[in-house]
Structure 1
Amino acid sequence: MCTVLLNVGLVIKMGHYRISGEARHPVIVYIHGESFEWNSGNPYDGSVLASYADLVVITLNYRLGILGFLNANPAPHLKARVANYGLMDQIAALHWIQQNIALFGGDPNNVTLAGHGSGAACINFLMISPTVMPGLFHRALLLSGSALSSWALVEDPVNYAVKLAKEVNCTIPEDVGKDHEQIVDCLRETQLQQLLEADVTPPAYLSAFGPSVDGVVIKADFAKELVTYFKPQDLQSFVGPVNANMKRSEATLVPKGSNPYDLLFGVVTSEALWRFSSNDIQAGFEGERRDKIIRTYVRNAYTYHLSEIFFTIVNEYTDWERTVQHPINTRDACVAALSDAQFVAPLVQTGDLLSAKPPQPGQESTNPKTFFYVFDYQTKEGDYPQYWIFSV
């Protein structure tokens, strides 16, 4: 193993590689997930995959939380300022790879980005970012995450910046929209430990510090890019009458022009399982708790028609053939509903939009290849008993 320090403070870990003459090996860059506020690329050892598959495997660290995604700019459409420093770190790493990976036996013309959860959402944003030059990467693996999930894009980042400023005793100007620079200046003078200890908690199923529109990495007018792809009636066939009410725009994930990246995306069993307590997992729960969980998600993730959406979800995920709803079945249905809403449906919709541009009349499709997988295999020795695991 060797370690390379990038000039932006990132760490890249190379797995084992072999150089045979002028042969160049494919490169896979893994962007870690779990959260926009914690985790690291360090635990992921790429040496096994690199050895068996003749790949150059790279993991990286990027700025997270407040340091990676604080955005106090109330008008990115008027005055663009970089706020997505975590994404900029990833872009800097990709530039370094293009310039140096050949020295490690890698092929700079065969770079694949792979990410899980929030890492997959980051890749989705890089796919449509105007700051990403063509050729920095060529394929994308979106594992259980996309830009359309409720937690992927922070809709009102200034609100969380103000909450943070209050937590560290900064003076809040009367007109935040006009004098937001005062908040930024105060936060810059605050000790790092004090910033990290501040309690800024987002509503359930959303993110406080994560990717947001800054006018640079993620453009304020990205919705206009859909005109390049679809007529309004075509888009409606993808998003449907319910998803059209999502707080985030479906346009966030569509690259301008044709999608240049081969894409593999997919999900596993029970994506939202980690949100439930051990008691919920062991004993299940009744319909009252299920309703509370689903209502909370709908209230935080949608803007309009909240009651209609709630009752539609409950109706869809209730087994009406059962005369009595057992707590275990209620729990399974609730896990399935949240898994579909937060992971499966947004990711499938992402794949649809990225692969949906029809060929011109008389021409074959020139779209890159797109693949979808569902991994639902469970072992007897897994973390959860086999008898209650279900498939998506």
Structure 2
Amino acid sequence: MSTEARHPVIVYIHGESFEWNSGNPYDGSVLASYADLVVVTLNYRLGILGFLNANPAPHLKARVANYGLMDQIAALHWIQQNIALFGGDPTNVTLAGHGSGAACINFLMISPTVMPGLFHRTILLSGSALASWALVEDPVNYAVKLAREVNCSIPEDVGKDHESIVDCLRQVPLVHLLQADITPPAYLSAFGPSVDGVVIKADFAKELVTYFKPQDLQNFVGSSVNSNMKRSEASLTPRGSNPYDLLFGVVTSEALWRFSNNDITAGFEGERRDKIIRTYVRNAYTYHLSEIFFTVVNEYTDWERTVQHPINTRDAVVAALSDAQFVAPLVQTGDLLSARPPQPGQEQRGPKTFFYVFDYQTKEGDYPQRMGTVHGEELPYIFGAPLVDGFSHFPKNYTRAELALSESFIIYVANFARTG
């Protein structure tokens, strides 16, 4: 390829989980050829190898723990140095990620370890740093559990001697580490991004909220129910505007994949609804659990119905979990990153922000029709699977309308990557 050509670059950060998956199944060739882009996918360390953090005081003694995020930063440096040889434009790089991949990008947007110019635009698909599953609140707890599972001795004072845990774990064969059963509470992550004082600062939430004007910020922090936000004890001084153009979006049934086939086909009664919502609230929040639980149930109950049908109850719980885990944190992130303090005597200018809702359900997909669009169901349309009758793990058969939908979605994404 001629080195004179300069095409916009999209770097895709895979999601699904902080514990497993790969960039390899996401073939970018259809998207690249149809939209005249350079598409990069990458792998990064996951699980214990990517995110183990045994440091109980990162605010006092910073030490890198987010190796998975460091891998992504290293890949971005490589792209800056080499992508021109592949026809890519190093001055026009868009980061796109889905789910946990989007949360990773969100952390990179506010990380002090990311140099300006490594990327220029961001696409957050169904994921945000403010989601309950995005940040591991107590990573030392899981590091200690892992050490016990593989028979490492635990120091009496983990705070003073946490490095001995890491030293011992380094001597354990990888297969034993991966076989250790470390299960987090439902809706949370055991090994994922955490505050290490280097890649993610203790006051990372401040980096998001400082795009508000001071009076708006006071109101926002006072009213926010997001636990990560509430725990930020940051000063409320605007620092400047978010430098990245932002495209973010959700699908209509983000949390549907969490439910069993029986739940999906038959629905369930109010008792199971209460158990699911109580579990989420207990694991995702610290204070006012009872008030939050009753508020959620009240908000997601159709009080005009005299009898609550199991199907309606199921739909309400899917909507509640979808909003809590995906929609609300991402919309909140979009609000924060698009709010800019006005400059004295100047028009309010800066990066552009766009929000979409993808509400189409694939005819030959994995879920019954009229269930709503499932988490990840937009990905085949972005990668152009309908244009080649499917590839990888995406569905294989598409209608003519679905082919047209994929073309439209690709054009929107390509336009954003090209010009914002």
TM over 0.5: yes
Matched, 1:267 2:244: no
Alignment CA distance shift 1:178-1:21 (3 Å): closer
C-alpha deviation, 1:366, in angstroms: 2.2
Contact 2:135–2:192 (8 Å) recurs in 1 = yes
Residues 89-238 of structure 1 mapped to structure 2, 5 A cutoff: 89-225=71-207, 228-230=210-212, 233-238=215-220
3-state SS of the aligned residue for 1:239? helix
Tell me the SS of whatever aligns to 2:230.
coil
Contact kept, 8 Å, 2:110 with 2:208, in 1: the verdict is: no
**Alpha carbons 1:173, 1:182 under 8 Å: kept:** yes
| Stretch moving more, 61-70 or 182-191 | 182-191
Distance (whole Å) between structure 2 residues aligned to residue 84 and residue 236 of structure 1? 31
Give the 3-state SS of the residue equivalent to 1:246 in structure 2: helix
* Aligned-pair identity (%): 91
Change (3 A) 1:222 1:62: same
TM-superposition CA deviations, 1:325-360 (whole Å, max 9, x none): 000000000000000000000000000000112322
Distance 1:161 1:71, change over 3 A: same
Kindly tell me: are residues 248 and 331 of structure 1, through their superposed partners in 2, closer, same or farther at Cα, counting changes over 3 Å? farther
Superposed displacement of residue 361, structure 1 = 3.6
**Residue 253 (structure 1) shift:** 14
- C-alpha contact (below 8 Å) 1:148/1:248 kept by paired residues: no
Tell me how far 1:383 sits from its aligned partner.
Answer: 2.2
Residues 220-276 of structure 1 deviation map (CA, whole Å, 9 limit, x = unaligned): 233554684345641254456x33686765989999532110000000120001111
Distance 1:248 1:332, change over 3 A: farther
Residues 148-188 of structure 1: CA deviation (Å, up to 9, x unaligned): 00000001100000000000011111111111111111101
Shift of 1:289: 0.3
| Structure 2 Cα separation of the partners of residues 251 and 58 of structure 1 | 36
Contact 1:71 / 1:161 at 8 angstroms: preserved in 2?
yes
CA distance in 1, matches of 2:333, 2:251: 16
The 1-side partners of 2:332 and 2:204 are apart by: 17
Q: 2:23 touches 2:42 (CA, 8 Å); kept in 1?
A: yes
CA deviation after TM superposition for structure 1 residue 362, in Å: 2.8
- Is the alpha carbon distance of 1:224 and 1:116 closer, same or farther for their aligned partners in structure 2, counting shifts above 3 Å? closer
Change in CA separation of 1:279 and 1:251 when aligned onto 2, cut-off 3 Å: farther
Structure 1's 145 and 239: CA in aligned 2 closer, same or farther, altered over 3 A?
farther
Change (3 A) 1:254 1:382: farther
In structure 2, C-alpha distance between the alignment counterparts of 1:326 and 1:130, rounded to whole Å: 50
- Measured in 1, the distance between the counterparts of 2:153 and 2:351 equals 51
Deviation at 1:382, TM superposition (A): 2.7
Q: Cα deviations across residues 307-340 of structure 1 (Å, max 9, x unaligned)?
A: 0000000000000010000000000000000000
Say which SS state the counterpart of residue 332 (structure 1) adopts: helix
Confirm or deny: 8 A CA contact 2:214 2:236 kept in the other structure: no
8 A contact 2:221–2:229 mirrored in 1 = no
Mapped to 1, the partners of 2:122 and 2:233 lie a distance apart of 19
Following the alignment from structure 2 to structure 1, what is the Cα–Cα distance between the partners of residues 344 and 211? Answer: 15
* 8 Å CA contact retained: 1:84, 1:217: yes
Compute the displacement of 1:219 (Å): 1.2
Indicate conservation of the 8 Å contact 1:246/1:301, yes or no: no
- Provide the aligned C-alpha RMSD in A: 3.0
Deviation at 1:55, TM superposition (A): 0.5
Give me the whole-angstrom Cα distance separating, in 2, the residues matched to 1:124 and 1:255: 19
Cα offset for 1:23? 2.3
Matched, 1:247 2:208: no
**Structure 2 matches for 1:57-96, cutoff 5 A?**
57-96=39-78
| Contact 1:66/1:209 (8 A) holds in 2 | yes
Q: Per the alignment, in what secondary structure is the counterpart of residue 357 of structure 2?
A: strand
CA distance in 2, matches of 1:171, 1:310: 40
Q: Which residue of 2 aligns with 1:26?
A: 8
Answer yes or no: is the 8 Å Cα contact 1:313–1:337 preserved in 2.
Answer: yes
CA distance in 2, matches of 1:237, 1:348: 17
In the superposition, the TM-score normalised over structure 1's length comes to: 0.89
Note if contact 1:222-1:252 (Cα within 8 Å) is conserved in structure 2: no
| TM-score under structure 2 length normalisation | 0.83
Q: 1:173 to 1:239 in 2, by over 3 A?
A: same
Distance (Å, rounded) in 2 between the aligned partners of 1:152 and 1:252:
23
CA distance in 1, matches of 2:172, 2:237: 38
Q: Structure 2: how far apart are the matches of 1:379 and 1:227?
A: 37
User: Do 1:147 and 1:253's aligned partners in 2 also have CA atoms closer than 8 Å?
Assistant: no
How far apart are the structure 1 equivalents of 2:44 and 2:287? 36
CA contact (8 A) 1:142 1:265 kept: yes
Paired residues of 2:13 and 2:41 also in contact (CA < 8 A)? yes
With 288-297 and 255-264 compared, the bigger mean Cα shift is at 255-264
CA contact (8 A) 1:128 1:256 kept: no
Closer, same or farther: CA 252–56 of 1 in aligned 2, 3 Å: farther
1:316 is matched with which residue?
A: 299
Verify the 8 A CA contact 1:254 1:353 in the aligned structure 2.
no
Question: Bigger CA drift: 252-261 or 170-179?
Answer: 252-261
Structure 2 spans left out of the alignment, 5+ residues = 370-418
The 3-state SS of whatever aligns with 2:190 is coil
Cα contact 1:154–1:209 (8 A) shared by 2: yes
Alignment partners' CA distance in 2, 1:245 and 1:102:
39
**In the alignment, is the contact (CA less than 8 A) between 1:166 and 1:172 conserved in 2?**
yes
Decide whether the 8 Å contact of 2:53 with 2:196 is kept in 1.
yes
| Distance across 1 between alignment mates of 2:218 and 2:3 | 52
SS at match of 1:245: helix
